[in-house]
Structure 1
Amino acid sequence: MGNRSLLLRYTLLAIGWLSVALGVIGIFLPVLPTTPFLLLAAACFTRSSPRFYHWLVQHPHLGPWVRDYLGGNGIPLKGKVYAIGLMWLSIGFSCYLVPSPWARGFMLTSAVLVTLYILRQKTLAVGAAEP
């Protein structure tokens, strides 16, 4: 394995574990969305460590977030509401703090695109195994 691929592997592992940590914090702190961080971790682990990917997907508490999304079951309605609401709250606050029209435009455009993406995702059926 070359130095470049080894560096990429360690970078993906670091991002993956940071994402797991942020996702776990997001379970208890409603300002951080859990599912996107766990999905990022799964994506990083897929390319860097099949063992950690398997651990995450099979984890009794974290796994359902990843499995429901990857299985095409969708995102819980509560998760959609939290993600969209908190994103717009933080974007709105950031736009208030940042005077640059270009930065505001970029943030608002990003928020609209992410909102559309989340809304287009299937909503996890009520009564399904919601985390």
Structure 2
Amino acid sequence: MLRWFYLMMAGLCMVLVILALLLPLVPATPFLLLAAWFANRGSPRFHRWLWENRYFRPILLAWEEEKAIPASVKKVTLVLLLISGVFVWSTQDALWIRLAATLLLLAIGGFLLSRPTATRIK
């Protein structure tokens, strides 16, 4: 029964990863790490797929070995955060929405920049 719970949670986290890839305001890396953790306990096959996936493997490997985020992931995320900020400021009239979005984007960017950059994994 617990195995099914872990498998469902891994699946839910992967859905959130996919949504995060489509919505720049939502970080995908934490959900990917959670998906790997749950998959390790619920489905060795799913866990193996995550680790063998050419897009997810560098992120998982960097976190596993160095507790770091690859430079390429940081660059893409920072560019998407900047684009999101420009989009919010150009489409929203309400100042409170602009400020709230800016604070959120700055918090995400700050967290990202506070993590070490992976040295061995690009």
What TM-score, normalized to structure 1? 0.64
Mapped partners of 1:40, 1:17: distance in 2: 7
Match of 1:15 in 2: 12
For the aligned residue pairs, the C-alpha RMSD in angstroms reads 3.4
- Where structure 2 has 5 or more consecutive residues not aligned to the other structure, the ranges are none
Counterparts in 2 of 1:106 and 1:13: CA distance versus 1, 3 Å: same
Identity of aligned residues (%): 16
SS in 1 for 2:28: helix
Tell me the matched-pair count. 116
1:1-131 alignment runs, 5 A limit: 10=8, 12-19=9-16, 21=18, 36-44=27-35, 46-47=37-38, 50=41, 51=43, 54-61=47-54, 62-125=56-119, 128-130=120-122
How far has the Cα of 1:106 moved from its partner?
0.9
Residue 57 and residue 44 in structure 1: after superposition, are their counterparts in 2 closer, same or farther (change >3 A)?
closer
1:13–1:48 contact (8 Å) kept in structure 2: yes
Q: What TM-score comes out, normalization by structure 2 length?
A: 0.68
Shift of 1:87: 0.9
